[in-house]
Structures are given as structure tokens and as C-alpha cells.
Amino acid sequence: MSRNPDLRVKLGALEFKNPVMTASGTFGYGREFESFVNPNLLGGIVVKGLSLKPMAGNPTPRIAETPGGMLNAIGLANIGIDEFIEKKLPWLRVLDTNVIVNIYGHSIDEYGRLAKAFKGVDGVSALEVNISCPNVEMGGMVFGKDPAASAKVTEAAVRNTDKPVIVKLTPNVTDIRLLARAV
């Protein structure tokens, strides 16, 4: 019996050396956690959500402990795609793991522009399209609650990138199968 089992996993065109990945929004841009875990041991790093321009997010306090866990309202704070590509991606590029970039926009056009910004960019294995957050174009509604809107966002991302696209669906729906089929 082998002491080193083969843990490789394929997801579409992507191959991961193992199924352990960080969840978007929980691991920053990766480097923040290198003193706790060797990022090269992970199957992939999904970075904090990125928007076209930097966003400050919500004012503090952003996290509150409750008897049943915690509540958070970070507000999608991020450095924006330009600073990410210039300052964070060089460190991620040298890692021996997949780097998946989470993107979010407030309109279908923004998702297309975000996807296009990563077209041809080395060091990015895939895009994770976040459609579980409110947007401006539809009056603050989550794109991910409407199958037609979900499909349009997905199509805008796929059309504008050369990367595999993963869609982050919202759990706040009655039947997620409708959204999964739409995207």
C-alpha cells in the first residue's frame, strides 16, 4: 500500500494536486497566512474578492461574536485588480499551487471588464465569479438569485477571458439547481 496516495482532482480543465483549497474571502491574498501554513501544500488558493477599483469596505467593527458563532460585514474590502496584479500576484506566481482569482462587479459589464483584465495574465489558473453579492444594475438584488441574470454574468466572464470560470453561487435561494443550470 502506498504511503503517498494520489489525491489529484480534476475540475474541468483544471487539475489540483489535492482537493484542499481556501475559500474566497477567508485567506486574503495568500501571503498573510504563510507563517501558519505552507501554501505549496494546498491544492489551490482562492484569493479575496477583487473589484475594478479598490474598495474600503464597511467601517469597523466588522466582526461580532455571537453565542452561535460570529457575524461579519466586511463589505468586500479589497485593493482592486491593478494593485493585485502589480503587488500580490508576483508572490502567488512562484507558488506550486493553483491560484483562483475571485471577481465581483456591480453590473454585467463590470464582470466582463474584470474577466478581460486577467486574460493572458500568467499565474492565474482560473476565475471565480462571485454572483452572491448585491449589485447596482439590478437595484441591489443579488445576481445569483435570478437565473437569467446569473447566465448573463457568466456569459460576460467566459466571453472575456481565456481562463476557466467557476461561478460562486449564493445559498440564499429556494432551488439552487435552477441557478446551476443557468450558469
Q: State yes or no: is 24 an active-site residue.
A: no
Name which of 83, 81, 144 is nearest 116 in CA terms. Answer: 81
Q: What is the pLDDT of residues 1-27, one digit of tens each?
A: 668 899 999 999 999 999 999 998 889
Residue 139 is predicted with a pLDDT of 45
Mean per-residue pLDDT over the chain, rounded: 91
Q: Report pTM.
A: 0.90
Average pLDDT score over residue span 29-41: 95
pLDDT band at 134 (very low <50, low <70, confident <90, very high): low
Q: Which of 133, 138, 151, 158 is catalytic?
A: 133
Hunting for cell 494593485 — which residue is that? 83
With a cut of 70, say whether residue 138 has pLDDT above it.
no
Among the residue ranges 50-54, 61-65, 77-81, 148-152, the one predicted with the least confidence is 61-65
Among the residue ranges 61-65, 135-139, 158-162, the one predicted with the least confidence is 135-139
Hunting for cell 479589497 — which residue is that? 78
| DSSP bridge partners of 21 | 44
How large a percentage of the chain has pLDDT more than 90?
70
Q: Which residue has the higher pLDDT, 47 or 136?
A: 47
pLDDT band at 135 (very low <50, low <70, confident <90, very high): low
Domains of the chain in sequence order:
9-182 (3.20.20.70)
With a cut of 70, say whether residue 140 has pLDDT above it.
no
